Amino acid sequence: MIKGQEEISPSNRTKRPKFFYGYIIVAAALCISVVMWGARHSFGVFFEPVLDEFGWTRALTSGGFSISWILTGLLSIGVGRLNDRFGPRRIMTVAGILLCLGYLLTSRLNALWQLYLFYGVISIGMSAALVPLLSTVARWFVKMRALMTGIVLASTGIALMVLLPAASQITSVYGWRISYIMIGALALVVIVPAAQFLKRDPYQMGQLPYGSNEISPIDSQAKVEGLSFREALYTGQLWLLSGVYFCTYFLYYILIVHMVIYATGQGISPTNAVAIMAFIGGGGIAGRVLMGMVADRAGSKLSMVTSSILMVIALLWLLVAKDPWMLYLFGAVFGFGHGGLATMESPMVAEIFGMRVHGVLLGFVFFADTIGGATGPVLAGLIFDVTNSYNLAFLLCAVIGVVDLILVLLLRPVRGLPGNK
């Protein structure tokens, strides 16, 4: 039984409140996510200015991002367990403070070891960027769970469309150090206040999860009870799902870190290069929302397969895309496909394993995200350092995209879980 559930009397179980607080949860999570993911993805904007100032290799500079990303994922498992027990408000408050500190320290960067150390501080804050927010949304919504998850994750697209161009403009005028100071300040003034609106689950507000009175008792029990962490580890599906998101974010962060510098190397202006990221962001918003709606009506598996196919098509197109319009088209299609897959991560954990320990299981899968996201940029940077070209790196991306699709097709419900056949 979820903490606080006993406070709901049977007579209140079927009453719908005049205002459902879950919408406040989604709005607060969206605001927090825009800032957190905008800060994380700004690394690609600062990549070239930092290289120019210090003369480091692309592989070594990418390594700062990659090590921090691994640490983010590792810590997210523990953060997921804390969220299952204590809820997101205190977690996100501390995360906002740590992000502010990390980016202020990064603005004073003078040596490679400092990049690794300061991004380590950032990683502690970023470990709360996904799991507490999405696990909380999953607890508030049964019906429309995928759509609400997609709305929160649309923050990534908003960040790419709004915060990255702003960071690029500020960097061009004032330099990358001032940009990092402004990012740190933004983290403090947005994340900490927004976190105060977060509640672990609807029972704390005397409400039920949205749509919980519209599903069968068996399905409701499956969502609340589910498998333990140990049981999930032995299903095989947890490892398959982790493999899907390893591949998904291997691809995504190669492009986030290297696309701007790749495009400028092709003779495209910095403004147009950043615009490619905006197209990835715009496509991501559409993919997250539309594929979330499809998942709520036709199932998460269909959304994942469709999104994976679109990613493969986009990556094959990237192999021949050279002109700006071709890269814009790539960005829109890839962003849509990635957005659809990203949206399904939290709902698929709930569908396959139930809600009993959703936070820690989502943290486990998210750790696979971060391993992929850490490996990809360093490998792409190393390939460029050796070959002086991104061609082989992008060919590898197309191959990994096909592997991702195969893993998606192998996903299935866990037998024996109530509600699953």
- Within a 13 Å sphere around the CA of 190, how many CA atoms are in the beta-carbon half? 20
Which whole number is the average pLDDT over 96-110?
89
**DSSP per residue, 372-387:** HHHHHHHHHHHHHHHH
Number of H helices, E strands in the chain: 17, 0
| pTM for the structure as a whole | 0.74
Residue 163, burial from CB neighbour count under 10 angstroms (0-12, 13-18, 19+): buried
Chain centroid to CA 203: 27
> Measuring CA to CA, which residue among 4, 245, 213, 217 is closest to residue 134?
245
**DSSP per residue, 58-122:** HHHHHHHHHHHHHHHHHHHHHHHHHHHHH-HHHHHHHHHHHHHHHHHHHTT--SHHHHHHHHHHH
Instruction: Identify whether the C-beta of residue 135 lies closer than 8 Å to the C-beta of residue 84.
Output: yes
Terminal-residue alpha carbon distance, the chain:
23
pLDDT, tens digit, for every residue of 131-140?
A: 899 889 988 9
Q: Which residue has the higher pLDDT, 195 or 81?
A: 195
pLDDT, tens digit, for every residue of 383-421?
A: 998 999 999 999 999 999 999 999 999 988 776 555 554
User: What pLDDT was estimated at residue 215?
Assistant: 45
Question: How far apart are alpha carbons 158 and 172 in whole angstroms?
Answer: 21
pLDDT, tens digit, for every residue of 1-32?
A: 344 443 444 344 445 557 889 999 999 999 99
Instruction: Identify whether the C-beta of residue 349 lies closer than 8 Å to the C-beta of residue 137.
Output: no
Which letter does DSSP use for residue 163 in this model? I
Instruction: Identify whether the C-beta of residue 89 lies closer than 8 Å to the C-beta of residue 393.
Output: no
Instruction: Identify whether the C-beta of residue 96 lies closer than 8 Å to the C-beta of residue 191.
Output: yes
Per-residue tokens: 89: 């408000």
- Ordered domains of the chain (ranges, CATH): 20-410 (1.20.1250.20)
Question: How far apart are alpha carbons 114 and 117 in whole angstroms?
Answer: 5
**DSSP per residue, 32-73:** HHHHHHHHHHTHHHHHHHHHHHH---HHHHHHHHHHHHHHHH
Per-residue tokens: 74: 């590792």
Question: How far apart are alpha carbons 411 and 413 in whole angstroms?
Answer: 7
> What phi and psi values does residue 329 have, to the nearest 5 degrees?
-65, -45
Which letter does DSSP use for residue 10 in this model? G
Per-residue tokens: 223: 């969502």
Instruction: Identify whether the C-beta of residue 77 lies closer than 8 Å to the C-beta of residue 367.
Output: yes
Residue 121's pLDDT band, with cuts at 50, 70 and 90, is confident
Residue 393, burial from CB neighbour count under 10 angstroms (0-12, 13-18, 19+): buried
User: What pLDDT was estimated at residue 3?
Assistant: 42
Helix, strand and coil content of the chain, in percent to the nearest 5, comes to: 80, 0, 20
Residue 219's pLDDT band, with cuts at 50, 70 and 90, is very low
Per-residue tokens: 383: 């390939």
Longest dimension (CA), the chain: 69
Contacts of 21 (CB under 8 A, 6+ apart): 140, 199, 202, 205, 207
Q: What is the dihedral of CA 207, 33, 246, 135, to 10 degrees?
A: -10
Q: Flag whether pLDDT at 65 surpasses 80.
A: no
Chain centroid to CA 329: 22
Residue 80, burial from CB neighbour count under 10 angstroms (0-12, 13-18, 19+): buried
**CA torsion through residues 215, 419, 350, 404, sign:** negative
> What phi and psi values does residue 335 have, to the nearest 5 degrees?
-60, -40
> Measuring CA to CA, which residue among 234, 262, 160 is closest to residue 414?
234
The tokens 């495009």 sit on which residue? 263
pLDDT, tens digit, for every residue of 284-313?
A: 889 988 998 888 888 888 899 999 999 999
Residue 217's pLDDT band, with cuts at 50, 70 and 90, is very low
Which of the residue ranges 150-154, 221-225, 319-323 would you say has the lowest mean pLDDT?
Answer: 221-225
